Structure 1
């Protein structure tokens, strides 16, 4: 069952979002959305339209998909982004507003946790970032994550830039295989906001390629 890498299109966004729901429903989505089944139809439509707008108009964001060519099914997706100027770096540190499905008392400190770590670790250095790589659980260990990771690393290496990401416990071993180093553990206690459990993520950096 060969796998094929290609840019994500506007028509692919629903499949991409379904994969994200399947991959992150038990951790990240518990923080971002107060509904147990993910975003409401209204918020779903807003997110879908936002992704489509980024695909069409943001020249610094790159949405990718991995497709099983035997079935035509999209099994994984990711967003890569590059920040080259101080303006772009500072804009990335701005906190996004919560959705109408979100609890602001939970959303805002979580987003601040991520932003503060990024600012502390990367400062104002230019870098590539791998954002929310997700593989459908039914297709783990087929190499889709590696394909999506390598795409951005090749571009970061060509520019001589570092690479940053926030890894889940499951994803960390893959990223370590490709040279990422764990820098800081980010812990978020859902119990403080009426939920259960502590979610942990690892801020990781891959050094720029030596010339």
Structure 2
């Protein structure tokens, strides 16, 4: 029996993916969430949020972004940021 290929791929995101992830976040949330949690009042704030997210990801080894890519389009359709402590919990 042949298996059907998954329409999506889940993988770890890289700093190069953050701009696309930030833009997806912005598009998915209503204004009050954008302002309260993303601190974005307009699309003009996205470069700042992208840079902050890249800096945070590269500065803290426990910050892990994952992404979901639509295999048909190659576009990121979902993602999330996690704090992962594989060896021990923070103090």
Normalised by the length of structure 2, the TM-score is 0.72
Which residue is equivalent to 1:109?
A: none
Q: 1:30 to 1:49 in 2, by over 3 A?
A: closer
Which residue is equivalent to 2:3?
A: none
Ranked by relative contact order (alpha carbons within 8 Å, sequence separation 6 or more), the top structure is 2
Which residue is equivalent to 1:24?
A: 29
Q: After superposition, give the CA deviation of every residue in 1:105-163 in whole Å (9 maximum; x if it has no partner).
A: xxxxxxxxxxxxxxxxxxxxxxxxxxxxxxxxxxxxxxxxxxxxxxxxxxxxxxxxxxx
Radius of gyration: which is bigger?
1
User: Unpaired segments of 5 or more residues in structure 1?
Assistant: 87-211
| Contact 2:69–2:78 (8 Å) recurs in 1 | yes
- In the alignment, the residues of structure 2 paired with residue 34 and residue 72 of structure 1 have an alpha-carbon distance, to the nearest angstrom, of 26
Which residue is equivalent to 1:191?
A: none
SS at match of 2:61: coil
Which residue is equivalent to 1:3?
A: 8
User: Unpaired segments of 5 or more residues in structure 2?
Assistant: 1-5
Superposition deviation, residue 14 in structure 1:
1.6
SS at match of 2:16: helix
**Structure 1 residue aligned with 2:62, among 50, 60, 65?**
60
Which residue is equivalent to 1:154?
A: none
Superposition deviation, residue 73 in structure 1:
1.0
SS at match of 2:66: strand
- In the alignment, the residues of structure 2 paired with residue 15 and residue 6 of structure 1 have an alpha-carbon distance, to the nearest angstrom, of 14
Normalised by the length of structure 1, the TM-score is 0.34
Q: 1:81 to 1:21 in 2, by over 3 A?
A: same
- In the alignment, the residues of structure 1 paired with residue 76 and residue 8 of structure 2 have an alpha-carbon distance, to the nearest angstrom, of 9
Which residue is equivalent to 2:76?
A: 74
Which residue is equivalent to 1:50?
A: 52
Moved over 6 A (4+): none
Q: 1:85 to 1:9 in 2, by over 3 A?
A: closer
Aligned residues: 82
- In the alignment, the residues of structure 1 paired with residue 13 and residue 53 of structure 2 have an alpha-carbon distance, to the nearest angstrom, of 10
